[in-house]
Structure formats: C-alpha cells, structure tokens
Amino acid sequence: MKTAFLFPGQGAQYPGMARDLYEASAEVRDLFTLASDTTGVDVKRLLFEGTDEELKETVNTQISVTLANLSSFLVLNERGLDAQGVAGFSLGEYSALVASGVLTAQQVFPLVKLRGEFMAKAASALDRSAGDPGMAAVLGLGQDNVDQVLAECSVPQLFAANYNSPNQVVISGTAAALAAGIEALKGAGARRVVPLKVSGPFHSPLLSDAAAALEEALRSVDFRDPVKTLFSNVTGGTIASGHEAKALAVRQVTSPVRWTTVEQNLLREGFERFVESGPGTVLAGLWGAFQDTPACQSAGKLEQIQQIV
C-alpha cells in the first residue's frame, strides 16, 4: 500500500509529548541527545516538563515539534512501517526534509532553532501601535470566497496564510488589518473568524526579514536530492531536487501553506494510506474535511503506533 507520512507543525505541541516514544526506543533517546547537543537546549526537560506557555514560544516550538515528529518517524520505521512519500505542514516540512533524505537530523535541529529565532525577531520588530500582529482562522467560507473578499477589501498588510481545508483558511496581518479583514469576512458569510494564539503573522510578507536571514543561513547548508516523493507547502506539488528544496524553504517563510493542494496531489499521485507522524491530531482532522478518502491515522503516541503496525 502506497503510504505517506504527514508531519504536523506549530500548534500541535503539548507538555509531555513523545515521552512514551522516548521510553520505548533507544533510537529516540539518541535523537534527543543529538537535538540537545546541536542546539544547546535541554530538550528532554523542554518536552517533558515545559509548560504550555514555554512550548508556545516560537524557538521552543520549532525544536520540540520537530523532535516529536522525528521520534514518531523513527518508531514507525523501527516497527516496520516506512513511507514512499512525505509532506509537512509549515514547520512540519522540515521533518519531511529529514524523512526524505534532503537534510540529516544533525542538520535540522540547529536549522529550525535559527528559523524560530529569525521569525520571532522579525515579528517583534513589526508595528504594534494598534495591537499585536497575528493570525485568524476563517471557518465556513470557501477558499475562493476568502481570496475574493481579501482582494475586494484591499486591506494593506492582510494576507491569506494557510489554506487548511476546503472550508478553513487562516489569514495573517497587523492588528488593524486583521480587524478590518474579520469584519469583511463575517459580512461575506464566514461562520466564524477565530483569532489564533500565535506570536506573529506567519506565512506572510510581513516576515520578509526572517526569510532574508534564513536565506543567508542556508547558503552553507547542503540540501540533497529527495529519495522519497516530497511535497512542498509553497507550490503544493513535488520537489525534484535539493536545490529546489532550499529555495522553497526560504519562500515558505513568507508564502501561504497550500495544504489542500498538497492533499489533492497526494491523492493524484496514488497514495492510499496516510499517517500523521507527530503530536496531536490536527492533520488527521484537516484530512477528514475531504470526503470519500482514506482516513489519516494519528501516530504521535506509542499506543497509536502499535494500533497501526
């Protein structure tokens, strides 16, 4: 059966994640050691003892979710399940880069730490005179309708950031832009527009400084060609080479996540089994918005993995 691993991103984290995988697998324990050694962060304490608020800090989230994702990936592999294709949502794409052989685990942990630092710095430098910039989820309004409303209202510094499902789009912007956009979207028939608890307007041009800093940092990083089918957040399509993967990693910071396009292309490529390799059930839930498709199985806990394999 043609299988794809899907790796979650920021927002999937929770205190204590991957503890059972750590206790069950020597390879996972070695991965924790590698993550600590390459970042200077006590990741065992962070994942197992960190609070919700601590884990929500962008730099901590980037390290901890990547570690939990790859821990799940290792245990799935140990128990005999591998994938022919991989995709990751936002930050989760870095786990997919490792799973597809583009990056090594040794490369990825310091890289996501830097990415988090660049994003946090760029977000903190934005104008906050009218309030904090951020993101909001638009529910019950189709993607084309959201795009049309954003185009018609022409609010400066307001952007579509995540195309999560046929009926869920996330927008990013300054506080003033979000307020104006929320009013326009509700007027157009959105069932709800929910502000998200995030530290910045991610996946928007407002983080161009972070993209520039990441581009410079990546100059010395070797991206190899993928050995499995690898899907891109930026295009929704497949990535053919390490060179392309590096360029897209930079663009991903300021570009929307085209997750529904990724899902559609996974189906077009003939994938039949989908496993969420990482904490939580966010991607399984988004996958469920598609009708008449195989369910996405969650595999962030040892018990879930045992049920799958």
The reply to whether 203 belongs to the active site is yes
Tokens representing residue 215 in the block: 């581009």
- The single residue of 90, 204, 232, 277 carrying the catalytic annotation is 90
- DSSP output for the chain: --EEEEE--TT---TTTTHHHHHH-HHHHHHHHHHHHHHS--HHHHHHH--HHHHHSHHHHHHHHHHHHHHHHHHHHHTT---SEEEESTTHHHHHHHHTTSS-HHHHHHHHHHHHHHHHHHHHTS--TTS--EEEEEESS-HHHHHHHHHHH--TTEEEEEEEETTEEEEEE-HHHHHHHHHHHHHTT-SEEEE---SS--SSGGGHHHHHHHHHHHTTPPPPPPSSEEB-TTTSSB---HHHHHHHHHHHTTS-EEHHHHHHHHHHTT--EEEE-SSSSHHHHHHTTSTTSPPEEE-SSHHHHHHH-
CA distances from 214 to 114, 115, 200, 247 (A): 8, 6, 17, 10
Active-site residue flag, 90: yes
Q: Note the Cα 304 to chain centre separation in Å.
A: 21
The single residue of 72, 95, 203, 232 carrying the catalytic annotation is: 203
In the structure encoding, which two tokens stand for residue 48, read together?
């197992």
**Residues with a known catalytic role:** 90, 203
